[in-house]
Structure 1
């Protein structure tokens, strides 16, 4: 029987390789940053004297990451991966052992990093960094002190820009913790006026209900600070209470009962000044509008009766 030759099957086509995906500019930059940052942090770990050099590079990278977030709405990939190490190196150089110029550089890194990754900074770094930054506002080096104030303002502004109630409450807790406890006003830290000023700024950003809820947390430390022998501290407390009154109005009065008669009188004086300033601004604006419309009205024509009786912020 003749043998039949088995059919020859066509060779299976070679599996086609999927086309390689081109990396985005952000991914290309991230791969380069990974190698650079790994070497950078390893170098600082082996030789702490290289911290200044590392901070200079981190400042440039954080500034670039800030620009990426602004232009694309996305955070630079390296920020999340190296966030903790960046904060750690910066905080380590805020101490008195570091040169003044290095402390300034560390503050710059934190300032840029907060803007480059605001949510992560608010949840993971604010509690660690802000108290240390505030302490530097009374540094003996004027440049460090100025950089500290700028950084604190920037961090608070960054948190407020998130428009997140939880972040705002967390920030308030951090600041209130810097206020003196009962009986500690005489030994209050030199940066206390800065702390009270930031609390005032935060209070002004709150709505009425939120500030009402926060009032029991804020007032005890303010009352204790009011007993400080330092006039700048007492003045900052007065301004803060006036700012709170501008929002809460007469609701606040019963809560001010612990103030002494002289303290209450001082607060009342500054509230009256705020009222007078608001009235003057209102009259000036009204006069300008009348002038533009072809008519100029003066107080002699009865304008003084239009002065508002309530305080406005």
Structure 2
């Protein structure tokens, strides 16, 4: 198992070993990430079916009807006013929608992520996806809060909520200001919840790829200490995510990154540099071909 192999404290690495394949990064009980491919992270959602994303703001009856089977609830009453306001907005990307209206709507949607009813949380995330894709300016002032909410939504008990949370989170970390996202993600690297920590580290890897060398080097202090702490986590899946993130950082910065890895023991350091070397060679062969 990849995670168990990474836990091996040995400096004896055979140069004849075949290139390592990073199969799947487990990020929750409900979802897995696809194998990592060069250059696919940032444009993951460019190929989305436009008709699927062209969602009009739902009438409040959608929520009320979907909750009928559960009987009266506080959440239905609490969010009735918010959904009434959303009902008046014809289409998220329509000409009559103002940034102010969308900001107010987004604030209500963020609150709805804490709703006890699955259908309400799912609808909130569906609408957030639509806003992020088509009116991202409305979300720029609440990215910190949004990221933290989304990270915690990825451990939801409902699969649909988890999937929508991952869509939202990937959209944010691949399309919004990377430094703003970096600070929000870094705040969760000390989280004790395994699922939240793994998703945070995987999101950090996406940000590392986006940053320039100078920007990344200048902001290592924001995330690196907590990332190295996570290398000692009891979960092999957390440690695997840490290795992949350190490899991405090493590939971006090169040997200049090595002095920042003094906290690692010899086996951990060799693990990072060996995988970085193999990935680098694989990329070179692919480009050459």
TM-score by length of 2: 0.67
Mapped contact 1:138–1:191 kept (Cα < 8 A): yes
Residues matched between the structures, number: 217
Give me the whole-angstrom Cα distance separating, in 1, the residues matched to 2:194 and 2:142.
22
Give the equivalent residue in structure 2 for 1:81.
100
Written as runs of structure 1 = structure 2, the 5 A alignment for 1:90-129 is 90-95=109-114, 97-122=115-140, 124-129=141-146
> What stretches of structure 1 of length at least 5 have no aligned partner?
1-35, 38-46, 69-75, 160-166, 286-313
Q: Deviations over 1:138-190 (max 9, x none)?
A: 1121221111111111122331xxxxxxx32221111111111xxx7xx3442
Give the equivalent residue in structure 1 for 2:35.
none
Shift of 1:194: 1.1
Give the equivalent residue in structure 2 for 1:175.
185
Shift of 1:134: 0.8
2:262 is aligned, of 252, 257, 261, to 257
2:237 is aligned, of 232, 237, 243, to 232
Choose between structure 1 and 2: higher helix proportion.
1
2:272 is aligned, of 262, 267, 274, to 267
> 4+ residue stretches of structure 1 with deviation over 6 A?
none
Question: For the structure 1 residues 60 and 274, does the alpha-carbon distance in structure 2 shift closer, same or farther, using more than 3 Å as the test?
Answer: farther
Larger Rg: 1
Question: For the structure 1 residues 278 and 80, does the alpha-carbon distance in structure 2 shift closer, same or farther, using more than 3 Å as the test?
Answer: closer
Shift of 1:58: 4.0
Give the equivalent residue in structure 1 for 2:68.
none
Mapped contact 2:92–2:134 kept (Cα < 8 A): yes
Give the equivalent residue in structure 2 for 1:49.
76
Mapped contact 2:208–2:248 kept (Cα < 8 A): yes
Give me the whole-angstrom Cα distance separating, in 2, the residues matched to 1:243 and 1:141.
31
Mapped contact 1:200–1:243 kept (Cα < 8 A): yes
TM-score by length of 1: 0.62
Mapped contact 1:58–1:109 kept (Cα < 8 A): no
User: After the TM superposition, which of the residue ranges 215-224 and 266-275 deviates more from structure 2?
Assistant: 266-275
Shift of 1:81: 2.8
Written as runs of structure 1 = structure 2, the 5 A alignment for 1:1-313 is 48-49=75-76, 51=79, 58=86, 61=89, 64-66=91-93, 68=94, 76-95=95-114, 97-122=115-140, 124-159=141-176, 167-180=177-190, 187-283=192-288, 285=289
Q: Deviations over 1:183-205 (max 9, x none)?
A: x7xx3442111111111111111
Mapped contact 2:155–2:162 kept (Cα < 8 A): yes
Q: Deviations over 1:9-64 (max 9, x none)?
A: xxxxxxxxxxxxxxxxxxxxxxxxxxx99xxxxxxxxx8515379659849958x3
Shift of 1:114: 2.4
Mapped contact 1:118–1:158 kept (Cα < 8 A): no
Give me the whole-angstrom Cα distance separating, in 2, the residues matched to 1:141 and 1:198.
21
